[in-house]
Amino acid sequence: MSVDLRVDWCSYEAAKYAVEHWHYSKRLTSTYARPVYLGAWEDGLFVGSVVFSHGANRNIGSPYGLTHIGVCELVRVALRQHVSFATQVVSMSIKRIKQHSPGMRLIVSYADTEQGHVGSIYQAGNWVYVGESPGGAKYEVKGRQMHQRAVDISIGTREGLIKIDGMPKHKYLYPLDRAMRKQIAPLAKPYPKREPCEQSVEGDTVGDQPTETGSIPVVRFDATGAVLIEPVIQVETS
């Protein structure tokens, strides 16, 4: 089945909706630094969002000789049931990032081992796997686990909270120029084992994502291509 896939800038509200409905975390955290939001549409139907930011680690680019303007983190891929491969959505999102930020040289992302993820999307997209990264500390807050930085920002103190050591995460790199690809090539390690049938667990798929019912933001057009109703999802052009 062929569809018209479009990836473009979207609003915070659109990304938040996608993450809360179609990502295992159910949360678009406020701890990201300078996030950007991209949306994916199939035949005009909003099917999800890809979110990039400078991440929670301010020194994420240091191991590669990069400052914050040369590296970013892919922090969320939140998609409802869709026809296009998730890898294609991510690839088109990366092209947008390169166009928007010509000084960007490297993208970092992590696969959450606590969720059973191995990074199938990244493997299918030819990302460079560099091994496991130590899991960051978490704290239990009112029955919910929060990352250390989220606690520091939203609560301001860790006193009296139960600390939980996070499990390691699989770390992937995506170079945006030949020089960076050559630089990180020696770091490459064999990919961790994929799940069979191109489908593993929620949030870690090569192609499809599990279906979740509910209200779907959609832009409607008439036969001439004019907008029939005010779009629920506003596309940002700058």
Give pLDDT tens digits for 132-155.
987 666 666 666 666 555 655 566
The tens digit of pLDDT for each residue in 113-132 reads 877 788 999 999 999 999 99
The tens digit of pLDDT for each residue in 26-44 reads 888 765 667 899 999 999 9
Measured in degrees and rounded to the nearest 5, phi and psi for residue 15 equal: -65, -40
**Closest C-alpha to 132, from 105, 167, 81:** 167
Confidence check: pLDDT of 203 > 50: no
Cα atoms found within 13 Å of the Cα of residue 124, Cβ hemisphere only: 21
What pLDDT is attached to residue 112?
Answer: 86
What pLDDT is attached to residue 138?
Answer: 63
Least confidently predicted of 46-50, 67-71, 91-95, 209-213: 209-213
CA distance 96 to 36: 11
CB 56 within 8 A of CB 110: no
Q: Longest Cα pair distance anywhere in the chain, in angstroms?
A: 61
Tokens of 34: 């300078």
Sequence spans of domains, the chain: 5-134+168-198
Q: Please give the CATH architecture assigned to the domain spanning 5-134+168-198.
A: 3-Layer(aba) Sandwich (3.40)
**Closest C-alpha to 18, from 46, 44, 55:** 46
Tokens of 135: 């899991």
